[in-house]
Chains A and B, each alone.
Chain A
Amino acid sequence: MRMLWWQNIPLFLIVAPLMGAVVCSALKEKAARGVMTALSALTVCGMALVLAFTAARQESCVYPMGEVGAPFGNELRFGAVEGIAGLGFSLVILLSVLGGWRSLTRDVPENKRHLYAAMVCLLTAAMSAMVFTNDLFTAYVFIEITTIASCALISATDHGRTLFGAARYMLMNLLGSGLFLLGVSTLYCLTGHLLFPQLQESVKDLLDRDKYLTPLYLSFVLMTLGIAIKSALYPFHTWLPNAYASTTPTSSALLSSLISKMYIFLLIKIFFRAAGAQVFDRDIRNFLLGFAVAGMVLGSVDAIVERHLSRMVAYSSVAQIGYIFLGISLGTEAGMAAALFHMLVHAAAKCMLFLSAGKLREVSGMGDGFRDVRGAGFRAPLAGAAFAAGACSLVGVPLLGGFPSKIYLAQAGIALGGWRMGVVLAALAVSTALHVMYMLRTAVLLYAGDGDARRPEKSPLRKDPCFTAAMLALLGLNVLLGIGSRPIMEAILQGIALFS
């Protein structure tokens, strides 16, 4: 088959940011920032092109690296699903870097900012690679690259709490990677393959012949457990609040709306492309469902108890990760599509919440306890509006992304029927009620207070056109996901049909 020109794009989306990371580390701050922003913008364009071409041709393509095909070579694979996820992820990178750089110049010492840019480039490369790769071991390598980059992003700010958070984050992540690698190795020893299509064939063969079933299940359980730890599914979330809440807003936004989602996207690929539906049978699914429901409810309870803005937003991530795992655990195409859609919605909303929370903290004398941010919506109008909109989206107010995504999750649950329908609907209802309690309460708090609290402070509120642009873009993105959910959902479903 002759290669079309656009089929080379995914490879460049991995290689260019990798080179960019090397270049950035040798540049001065301003130049490094330019390179990083240009590369993230380029990635957005590239992802959009991939999505446009694959959606127009209604097919998915495989790119054999170095023209060594399966089963020995390494492959990239791209279709509509990869395009949509990649586009969402790269937009998040671009916007959080744009919107948070001003706060970053305050939080990160000057001699480290070019390295921060290098780490963002590394993250971009890892994101592209994890979205496109068709090979389990390559995925593992880029998981570790992500871990390293994210640890550097957290510990860029030199506070004790941040360092401690980064250490906890690293330790939990190392446990997760260890389990994942053991799972990969076991699976490789059983099947002798690492590429997803070949894996699926061998797994199916093993199942048909009824051989090695226990190690086979074990390998998938290990991989799931590893990714669950790394993406902070409920009982494994203890590292999360310190890591997310104490660092600079850009890092928090990237961590919660990008990094944990990348792992989950990989898990979806493993389940549906490497395992096939049979392995992913009821037991594993029911376990995941239990964890997901626990996360949706108990994560929200943690958030209600919390009295600090960014820590509350961090805990709400636990609940939202629960939503995504809920969609995956249903095991149907509709459930997976709902999970993917919720991934986009949550990424857009959480990125906005963290960036605006950073700004609100800045205008409240660097404190983000609820007492400090009282009336902060008047002191920083755009950040306040963005926070309120993000909160509404996560609660599920119509016209914003969270509303259709909850409907899709509920529909997927209803289509399944039985006791699981009840569990899904009850979990959604309870979690939404809890979200109303903490999200809307906080949004109202931002506009409470007497005249004294409303007065804008002079010094910290400088003009920040990048922040304004990023916030407006994110607001637009949230509304777009809310209003235009149907075409996006159709594209996802179409892509899923070509997925396995």
Chain B
Amino acid sequence: MLEMLERHMDEVTALVLFGIGFTTLLLNKNLFKKIIGFSMMDSGIYLFLASYGYIESRVAPIYEGGITDPRHYGNPLPAGLVLTGIVVGVSVTAIMLGLTVRLYRRYGTLDMDEIAELVRKEGK
């Protein structure tokens, strides 16, 4: 068990990060902390992907010095995916933060339950 954990350190860390982020996003009441949770969740997945692309004792996939043997290089594709994922994550975080600012200006709180209560009162 312990040996397996050690062998798959990256994946385990990634999944723990994902779990922490996911539960924060789901259960925390504070909007801002929810956004932090989202960032952690995404980082977990990026770590998962990046560790898949990294291969022990191989170099970064940059063509240099005329070595054409593919076994010399790591896998470039996951890095590309992570990069795309980061861009997506940043834009989603930005729009979520914008929404939070608008909600805070209106209701003066970041607590989702309190906002729900205020919205309900407003509707009546």
Which residues B87-124 have CB closer than 8 A to chain A?
A: 88, 91-92, 95-96, 99-100, 102-103, 106-107, 112, 115-116, 118-119, 122-123
**How far does the alpha carbon of A166 sit from the alpha carbon of B102 in the complex, in Å?**
11
Which residues A129-177 have CB closer than 8 A to chain B?
A: 137, 140-141, 144, 147-148, 151-152, 155, 160-161, 163-164, 166-168, 170-171, 174-175, 177
Q: Are B49 and A185 in contact (CB under 8 A)?
A: yes
Report how many residues on chain A are interfacial, defined by Cβ distance under 8 Å.
27
If A144-B92, A148-B92, A178-B21 touch, whether A160 touches B34 (CB-CB below 8 Å) is: no
**How far does the alpha carbon of A161 sit from the alpha carbon of B122 in the complex, in Å?**
8
**How far does the alpha carbon of A168 sit from the alpha carbon of B18 in the complex, in Å?**
20
User: Which residue of the partner chain, among A147, A148, A170, A185, contacts B45 with CB atoms under 8 Å?
Assistant: A185
Q: Which residues of B contact A170 (CB under 8 A)?
A: 95-96, 99
Flag whether A182 is at the interface (Cβ < 8 A). yes
Q: Which residues of B contact A141 (CB under 8 A)?
A: 84, 88
Q: Which residues of A contact B84 (CB under 8 A)?
A: 137, 141
Q: How large is the interface on B (under 10, 10 to 19, 20 to 34, 35 or more residues)?
A: 35 or more
**How far does the alpha carbon of A161 sit from the alpha carbon of B21 in the complex, in Å?**
27
Q: Are B25 and A175 in contact (CB under 8 A)?
A: yes
**How far does the alpha carbon of A375 sit from the alpha carbon of B48 in the complex, in Å?**
59
For B48-83 the 0/1 string (1 means CB < 8 A from A) is: 110010000000000000000000000000100100
Flag whether A189 is at the interface (Cβ < 8 A). yes
If A141-B84, A160-B122, A185-B45 touch, whether A178 touches B95 (CB-CB below 8 Å) is: no
Q: Which residues of B contact A267 (CB under 8 A)?
A: none
Q: Are B92 and A161 in contact (CB under 8 A)?
A: no
A154, chain B: closest CB distance, angstroms: 10
Flag whether A181 is at the interface (Cβ < 8 A). yes
If A148-B92, A160-B118 touch, whether A167 touches B25 (CB-CB below 8 Å) is: no
Q: Are B22 and A164 in contact (CB under 8 A)?
A: no
**How far does the alpha carbon of A389 sit from the alpha carbon of B82 in the complex, in Å?**
48
For B26-61 the 0/1 string (1 means CB < 8 A from A) is: 100001001000100110010011001000000000
If A137-B81, A160-B119, A175-B25 touch, whether A152 touches B38 (CB-CB below 8 Å) is: no
Q: Are A175 and B26 in contact (CB under 8 A)?
A: yes
Q: Which residues of B contact A166 (CB under 8 A)?
A: 99
Q: Which residues of A contact B95 (CB under 8 A)?
A: 148, 151-152, 170
B112, chain A: closest CB distance, angstroms: 7
**How far does the alpha carbon of A446 sit from the alpha carbon of B14 in the complex, in Å?**
55
A314, chain B: closest CB distance, angstroms: 15
User: Which residue of the partner chain, among A161, A171, A185, A188, contacts B25 with CB atoms under 8 Å?
Assistant: A171
Q: Which residues of A contact B41 (CB under 8 A)?
A: 174, 178
User: Which residue of the partner chain, among A148, A160, A174, A178, contacts B18 with CB atoms under 8 Å?
Assistant: A178
Q: Are A155 and B42 in contact (CB under 8 A)?
A: no
Q: Are B100 and A167 in contact (CB under 8 A)?
A: yes
Q: Which residues of A contact B96 (CB under 8 A)?
A: 170, 174
B48, chain A: closest CB distance, angstroms: 5
Q: Which residues of B contact A160 (CB under 8 A)?
A: 106-107, 118-119, 122
Nearest residue in B to A173 (C-beta to C-beta)? B92
User: Which residue of the partner chain, among B22, B52, B123, contacts A178 with CB atoms under 8 Å?
Assistant: B22
User: Which residue of the partner chain, among B81, B91, B112, contacts A148 with CB atoms under 8 Å?
Assistant: B91
Q: Are A163 and B102 in contact (CB under 8 A)?
A: yes
**How far does the alpha carbon of A189 sit from the alpha carbon of B112 in the complex, in Å?**
37
Q: Are A147 and B102 in contact (CB under 8 A)?
A: no
Q: Which residues of B contact A182 (CB under 8 A)?
A: 18, 45, 48
Q: Which residues of B contact A151 (CB under 8 A)?
A: 95, 99
Nearest residue in B to A137 (C-beta to C-beta)? B81
Q: Which residues of B contact A167 (CB under 8 A)?
A: 31, 99-100, 103, 112, 115
**How far does the alpha carbon of A185 sit from the alpha carbon of B85 in the complex, in Å?**
11
Q: Are A171 and B45 in contact (CB under 8 A)?
A: no
Q: Which of A144, A175, A178, A189 has the most CB of B within 10 A?
A: A178
If A137-B81, A148-B92, A181-B45 touch, whether A155 touches B26 (CB-CB below 8 Å) is: no
Q: Which residues of A contact B38 (CB under 8 A)?
A: 174, 178
Q: Which residues of B contact A164 (CB under 8 A)?
A: 103, 115-116, 119
B29, chain A: closest CB distance, angstroms: 11
Nearest residue in B to A179 (C-beta to C-beta)? B22
B10, chain A: closest CB distance, angstroms: 11
A417, chain B: closest CB distance, angstroms: 40
A497, chain B: closest CB distance, angstroms: 33
Nearest residue in A to B18 (C-beta to C-beta)? A182
Q: Are A178 and B45 in contact (CB under 8 A)?
A: yes
Given contacts A164-B103, A171-B25, 16 further A-B contacts (CB under 8 A): A140-B88, A147-B92, A160-B107, A163-B99, A164-B116, A167-B99, A168-B112, A175-B26, A178-B22, A178-B41, A178-B42, A181-B42, A185-B45, A185-B48, A188-B81, A189-B48
- CB-based closest 3 A-B pairs: A144-B88, A164-B119, A178-B41
Q: List 14 A-B residue pairs with CB atoms under 8 Å apart, sorted by A's residue number.
A: A140-B88, A144-B88, A144-B91, A155-B102, A160-B119, A161-B122, A164-B103, A174-B41, A175-B22, A175-B25, A178-B21, A178-B25, A181-B45, A188-B52
